[in-house]
Amino acid sequence: MPLDQTALLIELEPVVATNLDRHLALAKEWFPHEYVPWSEGRTFDGLLGGEQWRPDDSKLPDVARTALIVNLLTEDNLPSYHHEIASLFGRDGAWGTWVHRWTAEEGRHGIAIRDYLTVTRAVDPVELERARMAHMQSGYVNDHNDEMLHTVAYVAFQELATRISHRNTGRATGDPIAEQLLARVAADENLHMVFYRNLLAGAFELAPDQAMRAVTDVVAAFEMPGANIEGFGRKALSIALAGIYDLRQHRDEVLSPVLRQWDVWDRTDLRGDGERAREELAAHMETLETQAARFEERREARKKRRGES
Ligand SMILES: [Fe+2]
Ligand SMILES: [Fe+2]
């Protein structure tokens, strides 16, 4: 008999407790204000009568700015994410402690990135604020808000995806200060990924067929949490063309290593729907391989046409 949601929460609580302790032992305290070059700041126009933002205030490449905006808006939607995971995981016991701790750590990311962008005049602050308002008002809804294993599988992949995206965005800025800040954020995302990955590993031990089904469903329908940002398609394309986050990285640096950690390809404990889910997953990974290769070819051809390589 498959375990219901309540049984899964109860059975997995010891895994949450162990990994919460592990997380707290490894997580380093850090301070957003130390990462921001405050002395570069100048008062803006409006109430205080400073200088209006102008496009040539920003020294960052266009695509780095786009990626920073997408990453920041994604971080900004934290109240919605908190709502989703607190509703599903609950706010009691080890689950609740994790939910609150995770939320507090994520809160730092938006603070630090926004401070950096505002002080360095890297983006238009009016446009950024309007984009934040629009994005947060549309909210975020978990596609699997009544299925905790699906949600854990999703966040395991998503934390790793944001890690890679932050890190590569840092490199794309060409600014060592931004790079240092985003590497710090990426290190947090990596610890979050490890927490959720270990939790789902516990679920594989407890209920392998259910865990396998959850993973396959999530991989097949994966969308970044910022997918409802205005103009996301266009932004995601330029981010992919710049190699900050593309299908190849998604497949080879996010999905594949996590799947390997769960030993999905060599497990001997799958039956029935679990076995079917693994076959579907294998087919999906093949499709992704073809799509990633096709994108890389088109990107190369585009670079040649533009004389970039
Ligand atoms: Fe974050
Ligand atoms: Fe995170």
Rounded average pLDDT per 10-residue block, the chain, 309 residues = 94 98 97 98 98 96 97 97 95 96 98 98 97 95 90 97 98 98 98 98 98 98 91 95 97 98 98 98 98 97 88
DSSP code at position 303: H
Provide the pLDDT for residue 10.
96
Report pTM. 0.96
**106 C-alpha to ligand 1 centroid (Å):** 5
The closest ligand to the CA of 159 turns out to be: 2
Residue 203 CB partners (closer than 8 Å, separation 6+)? 8, 12, 15, 149, 152, 210, 211, 214
pLDDT at 185: 98
Kindly give, in sequence order, each residue whose CB lies less than 8 Å from that of residue 1, ignoring residues fewer than 6 positions away.
none
Ligand nearest to the CA of 78: 1
Angle, CA 205 vertex, CA 189 and CA 144 arms, to 5°:
55
CA of 110 to the centre of ligand 1 (A): 7
* Protein residues near ligand 2, an ion, with CB under 5 A: 159, 189, 192
Report CA dihedral (45, 51, 53, 55) to the nearest 10 degrees.
160
Question: Helix, strand, coil: what percent of the chain each, to 5?
Answer: 75, 0, 25
Q: For residue 309, what pLDDT is reported?
A: 65
Q: How many A from CA of 247 to the centre of ligand 1?
A: 21
Give the largest CA-CA distance in the chain. Answer: 68
Residue 99's pLDDT is 98
CA–CA distance, 233 with 14 (Å, rounded to integer): 40
